[in-house]
């Protein structure tokens, strides 16, 4: 992947929201590791953040140190899980973790769990459960719906989420589409007038150089007749300082743009993240949130209510809450579908409807996305849910059973136990 060009510093940062938490002060482990960068100001430079990503389980556990005691057997199991898959997390996102919290919501999203490699976790999912590769009409362009195209520009994310639906893309190194592939992708979309909506995703398109992103959005606006141009990005959550003047200037010619970001827990909605959202909104980008319901992260009524309220304070609408996808290696993070519906119902009467997301299920086999309790639900018996595909009418069964993850506290050594190797 190409290096990012140098960017000019912003002349002025937006004021912080007093009602939202800041990432500072850092927790003890982060202060030990990065206190000097905070004092020097480097912490607020996205280039420093990218250069200091934590990219192995061993390095992550070393950073946490005595704040997160792990028994030798568990450490070995965690490192084995990490060796089988890529690991990456920005310092500013990892610094949101509170290792002494048994229900810490950050570590489960970035630290590989041994369950990822268990046979049932692999057998209960597929690398590409939605047939994206089969539905490509050009390199990186997926045309599942007649009126929509998904344009996958890169497989790079600064922070790799353990529940990612495209974990298969992490293998073989991080890349982006070449200029020739971009041109072919735009041409394929332009040749299909039925496509009215394009979603730029990956990976994370906002991790790409502004000149590259700007080139893509301008080409789509100039060569395609679109009603809607969208981006999917977790950068406002995991690298908020990346939303700077140069990136916004690159996006401006393609306005109006819509961006769905990905906050999963109220702790992620920091003042820095909210400032990034405000910068996007001031530049004419309409920002909403699409979270994922994750066991041990946000699967209580209190978790979801706190998230909904934090999103409102940040000026974000809670659009979707996704059922964890049937991807190989993530079954342990699934929340039972029936329990998910109960959790959504628990928000009624407690918060504005703008803050109540729709629980959605992406049907396996490329069947399309449906609301979990919406009109496409045909049968419901225990953990068995049957939906009609909105694309084909085919009846598709969905496994709505509960995963096994017991929270970040399940990794910690029991009180009084030896935690050698940490």
Residue numbers annotated as active site? 144-145, 148, 157, 161, 164, 166, 325, 362, 369
3-state secondary structure the chain: CCCCCCCCCCCCCCCCCCCCCCCCCCCHHHHHHHHHHHHHCHHHCHHHHHHCCECCHHHHHHHHHHHCCCCHHHHHHHHHHHHCCCCCECHHHHCCCCCCCCCCCCHHHHCCCHHHHCHHHHHCCECCCCCCCCCEEECCEECCCCCEEEEECECCCCCCCCCCCCHHHHCCCCCECCHHHHHHHHHHHHCCCCCCEEEEECCCHHHCCHHHHHHHHHHHHHHCCCCEEEEECCHHHHCHHHCCHHHHHHHHHHCCEEEEECCCCHHHCCHHHHHHHHHHHHCCEEEEEEEEECCCCCCCHHHHHHHHHHHHHCCCEEEEEEECCCECCCHHHCCCHHHHHHHHHCCCCCCCHHHCCEEEEEECCCCEEEECCCCCEEEEECCEEEEECCCCCCEEEEECCCCCCCCHHHHCCCCCCCCCCC
């Amino acid at each position: 992947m190409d290096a990012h060009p140098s960017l000019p510093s912003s002349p002025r940062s937006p004021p912080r929201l007093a009602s939202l938490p800041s990432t500072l002060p850092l927790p003890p482990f982060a202060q030990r590791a990065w206190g000097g960068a905070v004092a020097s100001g480097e912490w607020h430079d996205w280039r420093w953040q990218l250069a200091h990503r934590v990219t192995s389980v061993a390095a992550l556990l070393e950073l946490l140190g005595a704040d997160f005691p792990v028994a030798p057997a568990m450490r070995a199991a965690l490192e084995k899980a990490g060796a089988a898959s890529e690991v990456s997390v920005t310092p500013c996102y990892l610094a949101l973790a509170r290792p002494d919290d048994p229900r810490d919501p950050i570590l489960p999203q970035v630290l590989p769990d041994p369950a990822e490699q268990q046979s049932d976790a692999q057998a209960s999912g597929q690398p590409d459960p939605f047939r994206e590769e089969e539905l490509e009409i050009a390199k990186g362009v997926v045309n599942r719906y007649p009126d929509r195209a998904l344009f996958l520009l890169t497989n790079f994310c600064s922070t790799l989420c353990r529940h990612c639906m495209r974990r298969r893309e992490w293998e073989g190194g991080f890349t982006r589409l070449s200029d020739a592939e971009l041109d072919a992708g735009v041409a394929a979309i332009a040749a299909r007038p039925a496509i009215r909506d394009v979603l730029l995703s990956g990976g994370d398109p906002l991790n790409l150089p502004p000149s590259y992103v700007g080139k893509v959005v301008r080409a789509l606006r100039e060569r395609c007749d679109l009603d809607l141009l969208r981006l999917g990005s977790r950068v406002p959550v995991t690298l908020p300082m990346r939303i700077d003047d140069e990136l916004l200037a690159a996006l401006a010619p393609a306005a109006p743009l819509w961006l769905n970001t990905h906050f999963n827990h109220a702790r992620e909605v920091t003042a820095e993240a909210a400032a990034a959202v405000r910068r996007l909104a001031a530049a004419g980008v309409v920002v909403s949130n699409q979270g994922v319901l994750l066991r041990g992260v946000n699967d209580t009524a209190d978790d979801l209510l706190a998230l909904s309220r934090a999103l409102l304070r940040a000026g974000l609408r809670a659009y979707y809450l996704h059922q964890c996808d049937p991807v190989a290696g993530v079954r342990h993070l699934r929340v039972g579908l029936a329990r998910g519906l109960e959790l959504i119902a628990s928000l009624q009467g407690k918060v504005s409807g703008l803050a109540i997301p729709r629980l959605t299920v992406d049907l396996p086999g490329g069947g399309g996305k449906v609301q979990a309790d919406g009109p496409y639900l045909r049968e419901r018996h225990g953990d068995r849910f049957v939906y009609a595909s909105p694309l084909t009418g085919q009846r598709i069964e969905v496994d709505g059973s509960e995963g096994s993850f017991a929270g970040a506290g399940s990794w910690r050594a029991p009180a009084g136990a030896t935690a050698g190797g940490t």
